[in-house]
């Protein structure tokens, strides 16, 4: 008999979320990590959320995950981005206390029956192409399913100037034997890089010279459910800028940067360039913003976001000292570039189980993503789907029109990646459907059905939805007005009185003046404003979705030989042959596959079917 249902290797954001999902679904779980003190460690900047990312966090919450809870237990500054834009593209960003965040995750894990092993995994137990567990330095741990969430630890190398250290994060080792094993399996792998800035002592910064960015008031919450009684102490962030002197120092030293030395082959994220890249690529930009993020309430350390670098220590010190407010700053830890291996996510099924080994799942940065939220989302889905497989039930595959998590996994498993993958709202073609504020409406019912959330919570939700419907029907649709105030603040008389609800569809009406809200219904009213504003677009999207859904679900037989389909370009043939999409929808999502190519594939499928019928 297997000792555990699921083994999770790695205790980062993907690992913690995976293990917790397994626990919630009622299965036994072993979490194997190098160092249990680093479970839930934020290894990059200490913030959760932002555009596309808070959307994911709220989805994780609707699926019962721990990230939003840990965020609120450690949040020291909350800000909603894009407040002047519509609901679908607003996003909450939370600065967290690094220590408190980690502690919160560890506490949440401790409250479960998840068994934590502090060991290094050196090999997988493989029999007949199935993974039956892992081999650590001391023992063999067996399980029905194994989830690997080893982040940047696969063949990790850190670079500063000319020095190279093995490891994925300062202070931790690199999982070399395990990555060798994965290389021996001959998996499609690649190499990526990312960077961090130096960490600076807050007490050594002259904050009087900096722009202060306080948090939002009243302070919002990331979680809708399971909130702590009150927020942590809220503290501000600061903004400063590079200047011409800074740029000169960087330019003079660029040739010494590890990233320019030719030693690094990995591809870095274009949305998170090093300061060397920014200065050299955008030469006409005379100054770049630096966002000074506090590391914690009682920690004398900041994360200067915007100046990640792999310059030698001296050059780092020089350019940092040239920046306003940082003239006398003390550097606690220098910036470095990390290079690491990832597994081409196209070798995964939509459930995140690998195509090459059964009972084996990959989640998080190992699949080429970056970001805590992206990692957590994958861990969560891998955990859920490992359990679903044990239950012999269908995997939970979220649609692109249903969740950012659906977009994330669909993009990864179909397109693969060319740089570390980060979520943005523009990746979601059904963006208007996916607000950070409607994740529950999209996912909670499913989550309850899977056993991921308690009944109590589901009932609360149903009750709230009922209250909302009552509000719309009994207040907005009943209350009639004879006139309204338009956007130019003029009173417009109506020939016959109209309900508030129908006036919400008028683009010229000043909506906040149509209805006076109170504390209870203010959120409801905002929701109606959004829903009526988006309705036309959403109807159109829904029509498109139903139209393409049927076609997209059409299965493509395994091992289809696309070279035999006349009319497809060689490039498309090659892409289809390598990817072997399992459905028409997946095929359509491969770059370069045009609607015309999809038609040809459909015709071919039909043809095969007809030939079979005739045979």
Partner 1 sequence: MSVVFALATPPAKSAICVFRVSGSGCLKKLGDLFDKEGFRFGRFYVNDLFYKKNVVDRVGLIVFKGPNSYTGEDSFEVYAHGGLGVMSSIVRAFKDVGFDEAPGGEFTKRAFLNNKISLNEAEAVSDLIDSTDERGVALSSKSLFGELSKKVVSFSGEIDSIRVRVEGDIDFSDEDNEYIDESLVKDLKNLCNRFDSFVAGCVNKKFGYEKNKILLIGPVNSGKSSVFNRLLGFERALVSNTPGTTRDLISSELFYEASSFSVFDSAGIRDTKDRIEEAGIAASLSQINDADLVLMVFEDYDPAAFDRFKGLCGDKPFINIQNKIDVNKPNNSFDCCVSAKSGAGFDVLKSLIISAFDVGAKKDDFNFIIRDRHEALFKKVVLDLSKSLMGLSGGDSIELVAEDLKNARSHLDEMVGKKFSDSLLGDIFNDFCIGK
Judged by beta carbon, residue 370 or residue 385, the one nearer partner 1 is 370
Binding status of residue 324 toward partner 1 by CB under 8 A: no
* Closest separation in Å from C-beta 404 to partner 1: 12
d(CA 595, CA 21): 38
Per the structure block, which two tokens stand in for 274? 């090093």
Judged by beta carbon, residue 519 or residue 612, the one nearer partner 1 is 612
- Give CA angle at 80 (78, 81), nearest 5°: 130
Under DSSP, is residue 116 helix (H, G, I), strand (E, B) or coil?
strand
Count of beta carbons in the 10 Å neighbourhood of residue 533: 18
Between helix 372-390 and helix 67-74 the angle, nearest 10°, is: 140
- Residue closest to 505 by CA, chosen among 526, 536, 465, 474: 536
Binding status of residue 606 toward partner 1 by CB under 8 A: yes
From the list 70, 143, 432, 447, which residue makes contact with partner 1 (rule: CB under 8 A)?
432
Judged by beta carbon, residue 183 or residue 282, the one nearer partner 1 is 282
Binding status of residue 481 toward partner 1 by CB under 8 A: no
Annotate 194-248 with DSSP letters as a single string. EEEPPEE-GGGS-GGGSEEEPPPSS---S-SSS--SSPPPP--EEEEE--HHHHH
Binding status of residue 306 toward partner 1 by CB under 8 A: yes
* Closest separation in Å from C-beta 45 to partner 1: 9
Binding status of residue 302 toward partner 1 by CB under 8 A: no
Judged by beta carbon, residue 290 or residue 386, the one nearer partner 1 is 290
Judged by beta carbon, residue 169 or residue 278, the one nearer partner 1 is 278
From the list 208, 489, 516, 566, which residue makes contact with partner 1 (rule: CB under 8 A)?
566
Annotate 284-326 with DSSP letters as a single string. T----EEEEEES-SS---EEEET------HHHHHHHHHTSTT-
d(CA 44, CA 385): 28
| Residue list 382-411, contact with partner 1 (CB under 8 A) | 411
Using only C-alpha atoms, the chain has a radius of gyration, in whole angstroms, of 26
Task: Single out the segment in contact with partner 1 by CB under 8 A; choices: 391-399, 452-460, 475-483, 594-602.
Answer: 594-602
| Residue list 486-545, contact with partner 1 (CB under 8 A) | 507, 533-534, 537, 540
| Residue list 65-94, contact with partner 1 (CB under 8 A) | 81-82, 85-86, 88-89, 93
From the list 34, 117, 291, 515, which residue makes contact with partner 1 (rule: CB under 8 A)?
291
Q: How far is CA 2 from CA 5, 19, 30, 359, 429, in A?
A: 7, 17, 12, 13, 43
Binding status of residue 424 toward partner 1 by CB under 8 A: yes
From the list 16, 25, 51, 200, which residue makes contact with partner 1 (rule: CB under 8 A)?
51
Judged by beta carbon, residue 497 or residue 594, the one nearer partner 1 is 594
| Residue list 572-591, contact with partner 1 (CB under 8 A) | 591
Intra-chain end-to-end CA distance of the chain, in Å: 47
Burial of residue 540, with CB atoms counted within 10 A of its CB: 0-12 exposed, 13-18 middle, 19 or more buried: exposed
Binding status of residue 345 toward partner 1 by CB under 8 A: no
Residues that bind partner 1 (CB under 8 A): 50-52, 81-82, 85-86, 88-89, 93, 269-273, 278, 281-282, 285, 288-291, 305-306, 411, 415, 418, 424-427, 429, 431-432, 507, 533-534, 537, 540, 566-567, 591-592, 594-596, 600, 603, 606-607, 610
């Amino acid at each position: 008999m297997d000792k555990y249902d699921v083994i999770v290797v790695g205790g980062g954001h993907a690992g913690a979320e995976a293990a917790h999902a397994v626990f919630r679904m009622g299965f036994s779980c072993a979490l194997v990590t190098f160092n249990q003190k680093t479970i839930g460690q934020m290894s990059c900047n200490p913030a959760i959320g932002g555009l596309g990312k808070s959307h994911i966090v709220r989805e994780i919450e609707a699926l019962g995950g721990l990230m939003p809870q840990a965020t609120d237990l450690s949040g020291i500054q909350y800000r909603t981005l894009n407040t002047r834009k519509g609901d679908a593209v607003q996003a909450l960003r939370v600065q967290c206390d690094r220590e408190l965040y980690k502690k919160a995750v560890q506490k949440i894990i401790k409250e479960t029956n998840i068994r934590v092993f502090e060991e290094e995994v050196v090999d997988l137990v493989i029999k007949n192409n199935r993974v039956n567990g892992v081999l650590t330095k001391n023992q063999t741990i067996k399980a029905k399913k194994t989830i690997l969430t080893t982040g940047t630890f696969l063949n990790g190398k850190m670079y500063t100037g000319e020095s190279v250290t093995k490891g994925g994060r300062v202070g931790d080792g690199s999982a070399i034997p395990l990555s060798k094993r994965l290389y021996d399996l001959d998996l499609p792998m690649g190499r990526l890089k990312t960077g961090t800035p130096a960490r600076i002592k807050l007490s050594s910064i002259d904050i009087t010279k900096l722009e202060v960015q306080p948090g939002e008031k009243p302070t919002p919450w990331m979680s809708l459910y399971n909130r702590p009684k009150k927020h942590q102490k809220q503290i501000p962030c600061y903004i400063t800028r590079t200047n011409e002197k800074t740029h000169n120092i960087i330019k003079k030293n660029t040739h010494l940067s590890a990233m320019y030395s030719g030693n690094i082959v990995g591809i870095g994220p274009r949305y998170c360039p090093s300061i060397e890249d920014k200065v050299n690529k955008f030469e006409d930009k005379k100054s770049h913003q630096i966002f000074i993020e506090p590391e914690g309430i009682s920690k004398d350390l900041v994360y200067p976001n915007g100046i990640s670098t792999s310059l030698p220590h001296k050059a780092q010190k020089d350019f940092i000292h040239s920046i306003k407010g940082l003239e006398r700053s003390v550097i606690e830890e220098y910036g470095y570039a990390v290079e690491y291996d990832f597994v081409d996510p196209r070798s995964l099924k939509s459930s995140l189980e690998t195509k090459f080994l059964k009972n084996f799942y990959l989640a998080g940065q190992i699949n080429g993503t970056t970001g805590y939220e992206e990692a957590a989302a994958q861990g969560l889905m891998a955990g859920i789907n490992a359990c679903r497989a044990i239950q012999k039930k269908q995997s939970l595959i979220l649609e692109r029109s249903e969740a950012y998590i659906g977009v994330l996994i669909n993009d990864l498993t179909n397109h693969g990646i060319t740089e570390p993958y980060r979520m943005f709202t523009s990746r979601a073609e059904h963006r208007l459907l996916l607000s950070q504020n409607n994740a529950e409406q999209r996912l909670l019912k499913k989550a309850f059905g899977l056993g991921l959330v308690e009944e109590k919570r589901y009932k609360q939700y149903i009750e709230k939805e009922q209250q909302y419907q009552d509000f719309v029907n009994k207040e907005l649709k009943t209350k009639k007005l004879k006139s309204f105030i338009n956007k130019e603040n003029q009173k417009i008389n109506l020939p016959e009185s109209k309900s508030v609800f129908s006036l919400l569809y008028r683009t010229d009406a000043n909506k906040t003046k149509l209805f006076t809200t109170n504390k209870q219904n203010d959120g409801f009213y905002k929701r109606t404003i959004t829903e009526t504003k988006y309705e036309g677009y959403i109807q159109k999207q829904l029509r498109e979705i139903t139209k393409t859904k049927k076609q997209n679900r059409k299965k493509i037989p395994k091992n289809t030989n696309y070279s035999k389909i006349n009319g497809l370009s060689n490039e498309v043939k090659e892409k289809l042959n390598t990817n072997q999409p399992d459905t028409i929808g997946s095929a359509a999502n491969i770059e370069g596959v045009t609607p015309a190519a999809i038609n040809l594939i459909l015709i071919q499928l039909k043809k095969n079917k007809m030939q079979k019928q005739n045979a």
